[in-house]
Amino acid sequence: MIIPWLLFLAVCFIVIKSLYDFILGKKRHVMIKTWDNHFSTEVFLSLLVIYIIVMFGYGLIYFILSFQGIILVENGELRQVSILGSIIHSIYFSGVTMLTIGYGDITPVGIGRFIALTEALIGYILPAAFVLKMVQFSGRSREK
């Protein structure tokens, strides 16, 4: 009973720490000059890794919560699936939510709705954070 909650907290910590490091982290970034604009491969790759971490993290959260009776409903009906099927459904739902696609084939129940809302908000805000990072690094490189 306590192990799923500890795993839930660990996954939440990893997701929050990854987002924090991306947005507020102070790392050196490699700038590649292209057409008078700057592109940071490190910032781009870190954004990609952050998306993957958050998507899989939230997928694991949905999967862990499925043991507590908070499940995802597929096409309006409850379905019993294997553990592997549950993991796949959870990660799929997480990706669809994170990327704000929202097909509607899987819907969360209970507190899962609030969790999906926070994930969609993160998925919506991350591109803006990426653009702000690029503007910051572009401004710094012009000062040098």
Ordered domains of the chain (ranges, CATH): 39-126 (1.10.287.70)
| Residue 111 CA neighbour count, 13 Å, CB half | 8
- Please tell me the predicted confidence (pLDDT) of residue 15: 84
Integer Cα distance of 43 and 129 in angstroms: 10
Confidence of residue 24 (pLDDT cuts 50, 70, 90): confident
Per-residue pLDDT tens for 27-52?
544 444 444 455 567 777 888 888 99
- H or E element that contains 110: none
- Please tell me the predicted confidence (pLDDT) of residue 49: 87
Determine contact, residues 74/106, Cβ cutoff 8 Å.
yes
- Please tell me the predicted confidence (pLDDT) of residue 117: 92
Per-residue pLDDT tens for 86-105?
889 899 999 999 988 888 88
Rounded average pLDDT over 113-121: 92
The single-letter code of the amino acid at 126 is L
Per-residue pLDDT tens for 69-87?
767 787 777 777 788 888 8
